[in-house]
Structure 1
Amino acid sequence: MNNQTSNSKSLIVIGGGAAGFFTAVNAARMNPSLNVNILEKSREVLSKVRVSGGGRCNVTHHCFDPDLLSKAYPRGEKVLRWSFEQFQASDTVEWFKLRGIELKTEDDGRMFPVTDNSETIINCLMAEAKKYNVQIRTKTKVNSIELLDNGGFKLTIHKSNSLNCDHLVVATGGYNRESAYSWLRELGHSINTPVPSLFTFNFREKMFTDLAGISVEHAKVSIKETRYSEVGPVLITHWGLSGPAVLKLSAWAARELYEKEYRYDVQINWLHPQTNEDVRNTLKQLREDQPRKQIKNQTEFPFSSRLWQRFLQLADITPEKRWSDVSNKEIHELTKQLVHPTYAIQGKTTYKEEFVTCGGIPLSEVDPDTLESKQVPGIHFVGEVLDIDGITGGFNFQAAWTNGWLAAQAVSSE
């Protein structure tokens, strides 16, 4: 721990992820007399930052309108709408720019460091910690929090001496089981059951397994018997479906799919926004214009040859057949496979390193301006330990930066 003067106050941040680290370095910068310490239970800090975006770190999203930005959060929109007025995506860009880190925007709005290397972001944050004398302790697990008579806190540490502090920020991330929140329940907080938020859809029948890696850029995926649908790129995996459209859908429907035990049907329009009639007319036109051409050699639709032939197979059409020999019944069946096929889903796959949960501390139990606990004054909650989660695309990190900024401002001014 830092050496403290008699007049200095101390802050302990439990959790060395994006939200916790951002809280710590900003609080230390805003109040140089504050002794700041990060306690991380694992071997290293910022592990999610390291693996995010395939090792490139999807820092934020190029949406600089607080209202529109807040709509990317299935849980937390109302609170974040106000929070983004204080610190939003453009502020994140500026924060890193002031520290020599330039971000770039990709076509889908995701923002990465121009180096395409997450170590750039990690090194920047570590340099801030060093500059403002933020102490970092890894392999340090907090078992419980005790309120002291003087208003501070006593932290019981696993297999180590207890620690005291004046201010406390909990940034432990999302847990994948409710029992892991028991030490926070003891403080008087309730917990919204944690469930996975970003995951892929696993097929019950493996009709596309051998086509893993093939993507379709503009499909519409709908979960049958629900109001949920998303449009965007869809990636075929060994197990089923992934890509931005599927991951966004999994976030919005996280609780309902959990309640369905991940058994449900999805419908996909592989040619969105084309309709049933549009596609049927195109197929009939091909039959009329290219009667001698083999159907497997089409160039009208944006599919790879292998995926197109799989659609033919599912429609029970021989790929070598010429267009002139395709019947109206076969055109009807092929149209169905392209525009509104139904696939049975059974199970999910989550990315363990980038695991995102919906659930945690209810937002009704924290002050939206400071993220301070309403139950226990002096404790602030930031990041995924709160019941906040965003869709894929840099939104979860943006919530972390924003939470951290607000908590740092509150703690540093107390």
Structure 2
Amino acid sequence: MQIAIIGAGASGCFAAINIKRMMPQAVVTVYESGNRALAKVAVTGGGRCNLTNSFAEVKNMDSVYPRGGRLMKKLMHWFNHNDTCKWFEANGVKLTTQDDQCVFPASQNAMEIVSTLLRMMNREEVALKTTHRVASITPSCNEDGDTGDPPTRNGYLISFSDSTNKPAFADIVVVATGGSPRRNGLSFLNSLNLKFVEPVPSLFSLCLDDNTLKKLTGTVIKNATVSLTGTKFRASGALLITHWGVSGPAILKLSSYAARHLYENGYKATISINWTGDKKENDMAGYLGETAVRNPQKQLQSIYPTYLNSRLWTYIICGCGLNPEIRWADLGRKSYNKLASALTNTVLTVNGKNRFKDEFVTCGGVALDNINPSTLECRNHPGIFFTGEVLDIDAITGGFNLQAAWTTGYIAATAISGR
């Protein structure tokens, strides 16, 4: 049996290895459009490879998978984060779980994951063909057949953009090309008449108009809550002030939840930042009053909440129109209220997005109603499977996107081996 994997990313390579382990007699070939396999895995997690998450703090799948949460909940009954850890550990990778529940190789080197997968592909005799960009996949039959005379085999003809690459026939095709930032990136699937969800970017930081705030580049708030005003989209976590605006886990989560909304509005929006995490305005007003009682003769700029730094505190003070050198004893009730409001609800104007390093993620892709949710096989084209981010599945940062790649790759392999 000839099995073609389209895409040498995490999901495609993982599927290929497991198919060969389950079906040693199959001929498995991975076709990659680029010059090398697993290029995205090599840079994920800042080059350390956040390959999954412990899921210890996940309350429900929709909170980490804004698209595809229901499907992931189903699939992870069969292959979950614990299975992922066992798989890599069984293949020689020591893992470590951070306080934020992100799982990394103990070496803190993404290339260990890359080399492990490539080594397993080589061991299982999976063929890898790079610079093979697929132009089309069309239902076909191989007139040579296994026995030659006559019978023919129904399958799929794979054509490539480069005419020097000979078309290939496959009995089964696994599409694992990853996310495409534009619909035309999925044009090689046009002959299959599938339903698509328009792809748009996800996981990005936000550009702001506030030049004063951007001067605080490098400032980290360990726990902030950010919301998109006028919507229900909100996220909490660490926030980083950058020279273009804001980034960090809180912002990246928000961008994932609100990816389509922000796209439809041209990445023009307003956000509200609660620098205190989840404290209420009234609580902060009380806290500020108590601070004044304890420090009446101190300057306002010299005493501030421990989760802020002096530069951010001064920015907040000046934003309220107050003099940083005023004594705490000289503050009036209105000043307390202004500061409390700014600490819990600083409103800023978003003017565009900034790509999150090289870890480009999209929402959208092949619509989930094209596939059997138990096997990931295409409903209208038996023998074609979809795995990874080419599907309308994407996650917040924290190892969840790679877990989707491992899970869907394994489920497809299992389904193919059971045919």
| Kept in 2: contact 1:248–1:392 (CA 8 A) | yes
Three-state SS of the structure 2 residue aligned to 1:86 is coil
Letter in structure 2 aligned against 1:331: Y
**1:234-268: CA deviations, max 9, x gaps?**
11111111111111111111111111111111111
Residues 1:382 and 2:387 are matched in the alignment: yes
2:6 match: 14
Q: Structure 2 CA distance, aligned partners of 1:231 and 1:146?
A: 45
In structure 2, relative to structure 1, the CA distance for the partners of 1:271 and 1:70 (3 Å cut) is closer
Does structure 2 conserve the Cα–Cα contact (< 8 Å) formed by 1:181 and 1:191? no
* 2:215 alignment counterpart: 210
> Which of 305, 314, 317 lines up with 2:319 in the alignment?
314
| 1:194 is the counterpart of 2:194 | no
Secondary structure, aligned partner of 1:354: coil
Where structure 2 has 5 or more consecutive residues not aligned to the other structure, the ranges are 142-152
Identity of aligned residues (%): 38
* Correspondence for 2:136: 144
Q: Which residue pairs with 2:362 in the alignment?
A: 357
User: Match for residue 58 of structure 1?
Assistant: 50
| Mapping for residues 9-408 of structure 1, pairs under 5 Å | 9-63=1-55, 68-69=60-61, 71-149=63-141, 150-159=153-162, 160-351=165-356, 353-408=358-413
- Matched to 2:243, the amino acid is H
Q: Counterparts of 1:293 and 1:412 in 2: how far apart (Å)?
A: 72
* 3-state secondary structure, aligned to 2:88: helix
CA pair 254-273 structure 1, distance change in 2 beyond 3 A: same
Structure 1, unaligned runs of 5 or more: 1-8
Q: Would you say the 8 A contact 1:66–1:84 is kept in 2?
A: no
Q: Structure 2: how far apart are the matches of 1:68 and 1:103?
A: 24
Distance 1:230 1:38 in 2: 38
Once the two structures are overlaid, the 10-residue window that deviates more, 22-31 or 260-269, is: 260-269
1-structure distance, mates of 2:360, 2:388? 13
Contact 2:58 2:64 in 1 (8 A): no
Separation of aligned partners in 1, 2:33 and 2:305: 55
For the residue of structure 1 that corresponds to 2:285, the secondary structure is helix
Aligned mates of 2:154, 2:53 — CA distance in 1? 39
With over 3 angstroms needed to count, the CA separation of the structure-2 counterparts of 1:348 and 1:332, relative to structure 1, is same
Give the conservation status (yes or no) of the 8 Å contact 2:53–2:102.
Answer: yes
Find runs of 4+ consecutive structure 1 residues off by over 4 angstroms.
64-67
Shift of 1:205: 2.7
- Contact 2:79–2:410 (8 Å) recurs in 1: yes
Normalising by structure 2, what TM-score? Answer: 0.93
> What one-letter code is carried by the residue in structure 1 that aligns with 2:134?
V
The verdict on how the C-alpha distance between 1:227 and 1:59 changes in structure 2, with shifts beyond 3 A counting, is same
1:65, CA displacement in angstroms? 9.8
Give me the whole-angstrom Cα distance separating, in 2, the residues matched to 1:351 and 1:367.
Answer: 32
Cα shift at 1:288: 2.2
The alignment partner of 2:288 has SS state of: helix
CA deviations over 1:198-235 (Å, ceiling 9, x no partner): 11121123231111121111111111111111121111
Code of the residue aligned with 1:41 in structure 2: it is S
Contact map agreement 2:304 2:310 (CA 8 A) in 1:
no
Residues 241, 29 of structure 1: alpha-carbon distance in 2 compared, 3 angstrom cutoff: same
CA contact (8 A) 1:34 1:412 kept: no
Secondary structure at the aligned position of 1:194 is classed as strand
